[in-house]
């Protein structure tokens, strides 16, 4: 298989504050160094691009000496936290911006969708912008005309196709822009998370088209998204970026697991450091996974009870206080929020002043083989959140093995998120 994209020692530096050095002498020294082919004496590359830490330098590296190759026909996802360098990488590959150093080799024409309105002239109509984008890609007018009806039909903006795009809503912009990028003949399709602007139906339609483009037409797709289940369904390989560097480039499942830090034996238990989550209604002290014998565990079998142990101190009794947990799978899908009720299922567990200990049980044959994340839930009902999943909550991890119990026909993990054992009756 031919290489579609090759990136070698790529770095992108941004200067904070004013762009010039501050003096005419230093600006002239920089100019002379550049003319002689020497390194910029004021290029202070090296400070990590960590947006959470105030740096002392004037320069930051959005991308730091990264190298990778992408084969023709691959669908590659790019994931990472905000500020990791994902959008910067796509802008360099789309030739919107130039790298500070390094080399990018790309085989074929590139169609990119980075931001709402990218590549569109606001005063031109939708139809005129289609022809403009096709001309930029080097297509003849006759070739663009052949694709025109398909583009308009896919975008769903036929009624407004002869209206200037500056009057389009952001959703209409994205619909037309994606249709143009997908249907005009390019060998490489680059899509940032701009698709989040569209509605759910259109997002599904776009993902179907990207799968068709990659698997059916053999075109290369690069896709940035925070929706890990979408990345998993579309991409066969994935790049994990962190602070401008590549942490891992591998199969999608392995990279997503690395990103979510699943399977870490040191993270099956959380203990309050004394400074976090201080609430008078309930201050969490310990949060961990236990087995059926109430012993801390990291890897548990599918056919036994799984316990989520919660320990916390209560200073102020609140009648509306509720405690529970949220369970997520290895692709960040929320499986369920637990119901905080007593054994009779009649009312919430009632807290008492001082230290409270409780265990929420997940029944056997519930979860499939795989990796899971659990986040603590505490709140005063209809009043306030204390620990809120995906916002500010203690987090623990565990693995399930043996989702094949009582199913000898299955030689690997059963399809699906859950792996129940159902009783059948012959009538």
CATH number for domain 265-401, candidates 3.30.460.20, 3.50.50.60, 2.70.50.60, 2.60.40.10: 2.70.50.60
User: What's the burial of 98, exposed, middle or buried (CB within 10 Å: 0-12/13-18/19+)?
Assistant: exposed
On whether the CB atoms of residues 63 and 244 are closer than 8 A, the answer is yes
pLDDT of 159 reads 92
pLDDT of 299 reads 87
DSSP state of 215: I
For the entire predicted model, the pTM comes to 0.65
Task: Give φ, ψ of 142 to 5 degrees.
Answer: -65, -40
pLDDT of 249 reads 94
- Strands of the sheet with 237-242, listed across from one edge: 110-113, 188-191, 220-224, 75-79, 237-242, 245-251
- Which of the two residues, 57 and 273, has the higher pLDDT score? 273
Mean pLDDT for 39-64 is 60
**Model confidence at 411: pLDDT above 60:** no
pLDDT range class, residue 45, cuts 50, 70, 90: very low
pLDDT of 192 reads 82
> Whose CA is closest to 258, among 282, 281, 240, 273?
240
Q: Where in the chain is the domain with CATH 3.40.50.300?
A: 69-259
Per-residue model confidence as pLDDT tens digits over 347-365:
677 888 999 999 999 998 8
pLDDT range class, residue 232, cuts 50, 70, 90: confident
Q: Where in the chain is the domain with CATH 2.70.50.60?
A: 265-401
> Whose CA is closest to 246, among 55, 58, 11, 14?
11
**By mean pLDDT, which of 13-17, 144-148, 217-221 is the weakest?**
13-17
Per-residue model confidence as pLDDT tens digits over 139-198:
888 888 988 999 899 888 899 999 998 898 888 888 888 888 888 778 898 888 766 666
Q: Which helix (H) or strand (E) holds 175?
A: helix 170-183
Rounded to the nearest 10 degrees, the angle between the axes of helix 200-211 and helix 170-183 is 10
Q: What is the DSSP string of 12-27?
A: EEEE-S-SS-SSHHHH
Question: Which residues 6+ apart lie within 8 Å of 213 measured at CB?
Answer: 182, 189, 219, 221
pLDDT range class, residue 396, cuts 50, 70, 90: very high
Rounded to the nearest 10 degrees, the angle between the axes of helix 126-136 and helix 141-155 is 130
Mean pLDDT for 110-125 is 80
Distance CA 150, CA 95 (A): 27
On whether the CB atoms of residues 407 and 414 are closer than 8 A, the answer is yes
pLDDT of 116 reads 65
Per-residue model confidence as pLDDT tens digits over 301-315:
888 899 999 999 999
Measure the CA angle with vertex 329, ends 285 and 393; round to 5°.
Answer: 25
Q: What is the DSSP string of 253-283?
A: HHHHHHHHTTT-GGGSEEE--SSS---SS-E
Sign of CA dihedral 259, 260, 263, 267: positive
To the nearest whole number, what is the mean pLDDT of the chain?
A: 82
CATH number for domain 69-259, candidates 3.40.50.300, 3.20.20.100, 3.40.50.10420, 3.30.450.20: 3.40.50.300
> Whose CA is closest to 230, among 197, 254, 246, 206?
206
Per-residue model confidence as pLDDT tens digits over 241-300:
988 899 999 998 888 878 876 545 457 889 988 777 889 999 999 999 999 999 988 888
- Which of the two residues, 387 and 22, has the higher pLDDT score? 387
pLDDT of 127 reads 92
Sign of CA dihedral 79, 80, 82, 85: negative
pLDDT of 365 reads 87
């Amino acid at each position: 298989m031919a290489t579609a994209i090759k990136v070698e020692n790529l770095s992108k530096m941004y200067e904070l504050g004013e762009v010039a050095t501050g003096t005419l002498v230093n600006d002239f020294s920089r100019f002379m160094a550049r003319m002689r082919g020497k390194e910029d004496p004021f290029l202070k590359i090296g400070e990590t691009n960590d947006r959470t830490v105030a740096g002392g330098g004037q320069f930051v590296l959005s991308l730091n000496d990264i190298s990778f190759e992408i084969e023709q026909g691959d669908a590659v996802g790019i994931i990472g936290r905000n500020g990791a360098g994902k959008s910067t990488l796509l802008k360099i590959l789309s030739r919107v911006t130039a790298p500070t150093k390094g080399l990018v080799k790309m085989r074929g024409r590139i169609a990119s969708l980075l931001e709402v309105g990218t590549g569109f002239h606001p005063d031109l109509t939708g139809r005129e912008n289609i022809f403009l984008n096709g001309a930029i890609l080097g297509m003849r007018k006759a070739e663009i005309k052949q694709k025109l009806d398909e583009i308009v039909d896919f975008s769903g903006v036929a009624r407004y196709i002869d209206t200037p795009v500056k009057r389009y809503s952001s959703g209409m912009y994205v619909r037309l822009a994606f249709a143009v990028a997908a249907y005009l003949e390019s060998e490489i399709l680059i899509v940032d998370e701009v698709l989040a602007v569209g509605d759910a139906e259109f997002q599904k339609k776009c993902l179907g088209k990207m799968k068709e483009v990659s698997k059916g037409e053999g075109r290369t797709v690069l896709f940035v998204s925070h929706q890990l289940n979408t990345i998993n369904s579309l991409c066969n390989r994935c790049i994990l970026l962190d602070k401008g560097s590549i942490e891992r480039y591998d199969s999608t499942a392995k990279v997503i697991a690395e990103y979510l830090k699943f399977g870490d034996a040191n993270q099956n238990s959380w203990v309050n450091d004394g400074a976090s989550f201080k609430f008078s209604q309930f201050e969490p002290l310990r949060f961990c996974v236990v087995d059926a014998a109430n012993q801390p565990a990291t890897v548990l079998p599918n056919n036994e009870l799984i316990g989520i142990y919660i320990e916390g101190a209560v200073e102020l009794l609140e009648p509306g206080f509720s405690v529970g947990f949220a369970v997520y799978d290895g692709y960040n899908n929320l499986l369920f929020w637990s119901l905080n009720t007593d054994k009779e299922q009649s009312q919430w567990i009632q807290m008492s002043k001082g230290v409270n200990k409780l265990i929420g049980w997940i029944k056997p044959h519930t979860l499939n083989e795989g990796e899971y994340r659990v986040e603590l839930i505490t709140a005063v009902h209809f009043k306030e959140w204390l620990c809120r999943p995906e916002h500010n909550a203690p987090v623990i991890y565990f693995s399930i093995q043996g989702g094949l119990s009582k199913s000898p026909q299955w030689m690997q993990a059963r399809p699906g998120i859950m792996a129940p054992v159902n009783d059948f009756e012959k009538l």
